[in-house]
Amino acid sequence: MTRGGESSCRRHPGLRVCGDDTAAPIVLVHGVRVSASMWTPHGRRLVPDFRVSTVDLPGHGALTDRTFTSADAVRELDGAVRESTESTGRRPLVVGMSLGGFTTMAHAARFPDHAAALVLCGATAQPRGLKGLVYGAAARLNDLMGPQRSAARDERLFRRRTTPECADAVLADGLAMRAFGEAVRELRKVDFLTVAAPP
């Protein structure tokens, strides 16, 4: 990393922490099929002003051998949030994108006092009803194509739609194609409007 340098990063199973413990803490949660590596360009820009934790959800990155469930995803995220709080003495800002955004919402509902604040990106489409059918059809198409063809298609998509730096980061740990269907099935079980509603 520039600025903070790669030497300021520490790895734990499914968790990478960059920056000094005295900096303001942020936990970043990736989207479906990708992994914590997607946040590498962001970390380069945030360290040393922030202490950046990036967590892999079950079925993704370092945890690719595990089945994705929402409950396990919330536990993994809470482990990262707790580590951040214990190391810095401050509750972190938690930023979740897509699947990470839904997981962040579910985490906040389960543990409302663990994060200082939330930022949700690409997590406003209720994955039920008609939209749920679209998600389900995409998951079935993914399964029919098989993991290699699906991954090749998604790699081409990422390289067309993002900068080379971002595409390299997104693809660094491979694409978790099996987890896509698992995550869709889990998300369709939850009414996120209820989850996001104030108590």
Give the CATH number of the domain where residue 139 resides.
Answer: 3.40.50.1820
* Domain tally, the chain: 1
Q: How far apart are CA 81 and CA 77, in angstroms?
A: 6
Measured in degrees and rounded to the nearest 5, phi and psi for residue 21 equal -65, -15
- Determine the pLDDT at residue 37: 96
On the 0-12 / 13-18 / 19+ scale of CB atoms within 10 A, 169 is buried
Q: Is residue 63 part of a domain?
A: yes
Q: Is residue 73 part of a domain?
A: yes
Could you give the maximum distance between any two Cα atoms of the chain, in Å? 48
- Determine the pLDDT at residue 2: 41
Q: How far apart are CA 83 and CA 85, in angstroms?
A: 6
Does residue 32 surpass a pLDDT of 80?
yes
The residue type of 67 is T
Q: Is residue 39 part of a domain?
A: yes
Q: Is residue 1 part of a domain?
A: no
- Determine the pLDDT at residue 6: 56
Q: Is residue 171 part of a domain?
A: yes
Could you give the 3-state DSSP secondary structure of residue 2? coil
Reported as a pLDDT band with limits 50, 70 and 90, residue 49 is: very high
**Mean pLDDT, the chain, integer:** 91
% of the chain residues with pLDDT over 90: 72
- Cβ neighbours of 161 (radius 10 Å): 9
Q: What range does the domain containing 145 cover?
A: 6-196
pLDDT for 85-95, tens place per residue? Answer: 999 999 999 99
- Determine the pLDDT at residue 7: 55
The pTM of this model reads 0.91
Which tokens belong to 164? 């080379």
